[in-house]
Chains A and B, each alone.
Chain A
Amino acid sequence: MAGPRDDLKEELKNPEFVKEYGSEVAKNEIGKTLFKIRKRMPLTQKQLSDKLGISQPYIAKLESGEANPTIGSVGEILAVLGFILVTDTVPMKSEVNPTQSTVFVNWEYLFPPKESLPPQAGTSMEITIPAKQKSKDEVIICNAATACPIKGGSVQ
């Protein structure tokens, strides 16, 4: 049975759709980030709006991923909250493996300069972490460009 994920895979073949979808995902990511920071502080939307000098409905719109703020205004909001924006990108995919999550880390974190780098070394690498992972030995290291597991890769 085809689900929304399968439909999305088809939609991503349309360049116009891809642009709109990318925009939605970016707005949502900003909203999610602001929401998490606000919760961590913790502040209500009203308290945050007073602190920032912007309206509470606009905070709500930002958090729900429906506002389209400029990068500069996002930077301003985060700065007032004591944060700076650090961006990263991941390949656009329609499939999400329900048993894995992915993070990107710097090569040097995993392989300090003294050690030799694996043959397919790049500037960054992808670590695929099984959701039910019980120990760090089960971490699979993949080449970021090819997503191929690197033989013998492990996190020390």
Chain B
Amino acid sequence: MRIVEYYKRPNGREPARDWVNSEKNSSIRPSFYDRQSQLETENIQDLIDRNIIELIKGKGRKTPPIPGFYELKHKTCKWRMAVYHDQKRNTVILLHGWRKASHNQDAEIDKARTLLFEYMQGGT
């Protein structure tokens, strides 16, 4: 079993948690908590095969994807959350969540990537 936690920025903010708490839509919150439970217990490859998580592509055509940097998905409820599987700590870090729309995907992933680099440089 792995640990799932919210990423906490140096300024104390937890973007993923803030997003979950801001979502008043009842279908998003229950589906999020069910998904995060699966991150704790299920095999990562199985989650990929079931299309519950998907490796986030690298920025631009020439940049390779970052290993462990995934999008947690719920197509029906139309939300996404960028997460990072830190294998050394056996922990999944919840970085940034958003409501999926065709126009915002790249910008939201860029925000998540920024948070991931911040985490890798010593965040918690």
Contact = CB atoms under 8 A, between A and B. Distances in A.
Q: Is the interface of B mostly helix, strand, loop or mixed?
A: mixed
Given A1-B8, A28-B38, A65 B26 contact: no
A39 B42 CA distance: 15
Contacts of A131: 1
B76 interface: yes
Nearest to B21: A7
Contacts of A63: 50-51
A64 B35 CA distance: 10
B29 interface: yes
Contacts of A64: 50-52, 73, 75
A24 B5 contact: no
B46 A35 contact: yes
B52 A65 contact: yes
A58 interface: no
Interface string A104-129: 00000000000000000000000000
Contacts, number: 76
Q: How large is the interface on B (under 10, 10 to 19, 20 to 34, 35 or more residues)?
A: 20 to 34
B34 interface: yes
B1 A4 contact: no
B49 interface: yes
A20 interface: yes
B37 to A, nearest CB: 8
Interface of A: 1, 3-5, 7-8, 11, 16-17, 20-21, 23-25, 28, 31-32, 35, 39, 60-61, 63-66, 96, 98, 131
Interface of B: 1, 3-6, 8, 17, 20-21, 26-27, 29-31, 33-34, 36-38, 40-42, 46, 49-52, 73-76, 94, 124
17 contacts: A1-B5, A4-B5, A4-B33, A7-B21, A8-B33, A17-B26, A17-B29, A20-B30, A23-B30, A64-B73, A65-B50, A65-B52, A66-B74, A66-B75, A66-B76, A98-B1, A98-B3
